Amino acid sequence: MSLLQATWQWLTDPAHWQGIDGIPTRVGEQVHLSLESVAIGALIALPVGIVLGHYGRFGNLAINISNVGRAVPSFGILVIAFQVFGLGDVPIVIALTALAVPPMVTNSYVALREVDPDIKDAARGMGYRGLAQLFRVELPLAVPLIMAGIRTSAVQVVATATLAALIAGGGLGRYIVDGLARSDNPRTLAGALLVAALALATELLLAGLERAMVPRGIRLLAASSPRKVGTFKTA
């Protein structure tokens, strides 16, 4: 039986859809870990990037932080988190959050910076000041690029959460790591395909969300953003 056939059999085996090692459970764990990490990361990154972008401060830091973030090896960060926090979700979420923050900081900074100065002038002329200008004029225009940053982070986190299994974590990485340990290739391939599918689903879902959130007029304006942070592989 070929590997593809064996993997198909593995995926369609009802036993693999139940219980603590079943596909729904593992997918749920991966989603849970990723969601927590991206949410916490966003709570940290977005305010920082937006404020820095609005006031135009520490631009170099904001742009380069994503370069620093990319340079951090996710395997190393996960193991360090494990050594500090031990077993469980905490080290995994902390490590993944650390990976999620940089792209979102850079993108939100650039998003705010790239708001057309003419529009900011016009807003000022219309009487908008400070925070009102930020919230009612700049942020709506910045949404596409900010969402792109969140999307990049999310896809990266979903893929990297796979490595959690190396520190006894759960999620779809469990199938890959266990498959390697047992030389059970159908299990490994099934895990890989499921992770790829989940990453793709995340990308599509967030792209759809972005489309829904951004008014059409602004979408046309923000058609090309050359300095946004692109998809980056960390695992």
Neighbours of 110 (CB within 10 A): 25
Count of residues interacting with another protein (CB under 8 A): 52
Q: Candidates 23-31, 52-60, 100-108, 187-195 — which segment interacts with another protein by CB under 8 A?
A: 187-195
| Residue 40 or 193 with smaller CB distance to another protein | 193
Asked if 166 is part of the footprint of another protein (rule: CB under 8 A), the reply reads yes
d(CA 152, CA 31): 15
Length of the chain: 235
Restricting to residues 58-117, name those near another protein by CB under 8 A.
Answer: 67-68, 70-77, 79-80, 82-83, 86-88
Asked if 20 is part of the footprint of another protein (rule: CB under 8 A), the reply reads yes
| Residue 221 or 234 with smaller CB distance to another protein | 234
CA-only gyration radius of the chain, Å = 20
Asked if 191 is part of the footprint of another protein (rule: CB under 8 A), the reply reads yes
Asked if 124 is part of the footprint of another protein (rule: CB under 8 A), the reply reads no
Buried b (16+ CB within 10 A) or exposed e, 6-26: bbbebbeeeebeeeeeebebb
Buried b (16+ CB within 10 A) or exposed e, 53-82: bbeeeeeeebbebbeebeeeebeebbbebb
- Which residues of the shown chain bind another protein in the complex (CB under 8 A)? 3, 20-21, 67-68, 70-77, 79-80, 82-83, 86-88, 159, 162-163, 166-168, 173-174, 176-183, 185, 188-189, 191-193, 195-196, 199-200, 230-235
